[in-house]
Amino acid sequence: MELLKTTYSDFLDKVTSSHLDYLITHKNDSFTIYEPKIKQRIKDKLEIFITEKSINIEELKENIDKKVKDYLKEITPQTKLPITSWMRLAIIINQHHQINIKNIIEYYKEWRSNEGRGILILSSPKHNKTIYIDSFILKGTNEIEEFNHKWIGLKPALIKNTPRNNKRKKPDSGVGQRNYSNIKRAINAAAVDINCNEIYYQTYIDNNNKKLHEFNGNISSLYRFMTEKRGLSVKESVFRKVVSDFIKTYYRKNRPPREITKPKTI
């Protein structure tokens, strides 16, 4: 699949903002405040103009840009690269120049949790190359020309191990039929309740084409809701083992916008 691509201009803005936040937050510990317009070198890594109340953002951005161009000399603000390449570049400038890259890391994590979920391998058919995605972003400056390759993401099929006795595991295994039924019944009741807006009725279809309800929060939040608001009485450890059979949760509260429906009849 095609990888998300963004411009160098966007990358530079994110890194500058991230490092600026770092400098402001840690300035009392990291460096001394000097008189206006006196250029000082911070830990011999990055030069900026600084006053008691402000940091020259353009100067900061220019210096980060210079560091980047030590590795990618032909880069321009309009240069577009896959998000995996930007993550690799961010790690390089962080390791070699101690530039804060928190915003890039967060952006990359968000992508890996959504569009990039399941991508394990990068492939460049033109150059007959494949590499694990994590190996690529941690590769550093080795084979720097790889930044110009056209990469696509691959989601290899996962191998499912079949139990030796070929007996299908019961859904309520390990929690008991009563607990399993109580959890299922409580969640279904909340999903069809027209007064319950926290649980969405059968709005998610999993890889086995099974319809699941949805909850825009993590399992702990769902457990608190079900026990405090819906009267479910079961241990959280038991709840966690089986809840995914009935409902899709979102750790980052990033449920995609979908039409909210309730069944016409219960």
Domain termination residue (choose one: 100, 116, 132)? 116
110 & 185 share domain: no
Same domain, residue pair 105 and 200: no
Q: What is the DSSP string of the chain?
A: -BPPEEEHHHHHHHHHHHHHHHHHHHHHHH-----TT-EEEETTTEEEEB-SS-B-HHHHHHHHHHHHHTT-TT--TT-EEEHHHHHHHHHHHHHHH----HHHHHHHHHHHHTTTTT--EEEEGGGTEEEEHHHHHT-TTTTGGGGGS--EEE-PPPPPPPPTT-PPPPTTTTT-HHHHHHHHHHHHHHHH-TT--SEEEEEEE-TTS-EEEEESS-HHHHHHHHHHTS-----HHHHHHHGGGTEEE-TTS-PPP------S--
Asked if residue 159 belongs to a domain, the reply is: no
84 belongs to a structural domain: yes
Same domain, 112 and 181: no
**97 plus 193 within the same structural domain:** no
Considering the domain boundaries, does residue 121 fall inside one? no
By residue count, the chain amounts to 266
Kind of pairing between the strands at 5-7 and 80-82:
antiparallel
Cβ-based burial of 33 (10 A; exposed 0-12, middle 13-18, buried ≥19): exposed
Weakest mean pLDDT among 47-56, 128-137, 155-164, 165-174: 47-56
Q: Is the pLDDT of residue 207 over 80?
A: no
How confident is the model over 152-172, as pLDDT tens digits?
999 876 534 444 454 556 666
Confidence category of residue 92, pLDDT binned at 50, 70, 90? very high
14 and 105, same structural domain? yes
14 plus 107 within the same structural domain: yes
* Residue 201 pLDDT exceeds 60: yes
User: How many structural domains is the chain composed of?
Assistant: 2
Domain-located, residue 99: yes
For residue 182, is it within any domain?
A: yes
> Is 128 part of any domain?
no
Residue range 28-46: mean pLDDT, rounded:
40
Q: Which of 7-16, 146-155, 160-169, 236-245 is least confident? A: 160-169
Per-residue model confidence (pLDDT) at position 55: 66
pTM: predicted TM-score of the whole model, two decimal places? 0.52
One domain, residues 91 and 193: no
Q: What is the pLDDT of residue 65?
A: 94
Q: What angle do CA 146, 100, 35 make, to 5 degrees?
A: 130
User: Which residues constitute the domain of residue 108?
Assistant: 5-116
Residue finishing a domain among 95, 116, 137: 116
pLDDT level of residue 194 (50, 70, 90 thresholds): confident
Domain boundary (101, 116, 131) is at 116
Q: Is the pLDDT of residue 108 over 90?
A: yes
Residues 109 and 22 in one domain: yes
Q: Per residue in 216-233, pLDDT tens? A: 889 999 999 999 999 999
Q: Is residue 122 part of a domain?
A: no
Based on the fold, state whether residues 11 and 109 are members of the same structural domain: yes
pLDDT above 50 (res 73): yes
What local confidence, expressed as pLDDT, does residue 24 receive?
A: 76
Residue 243, in any domain of the structure: yes
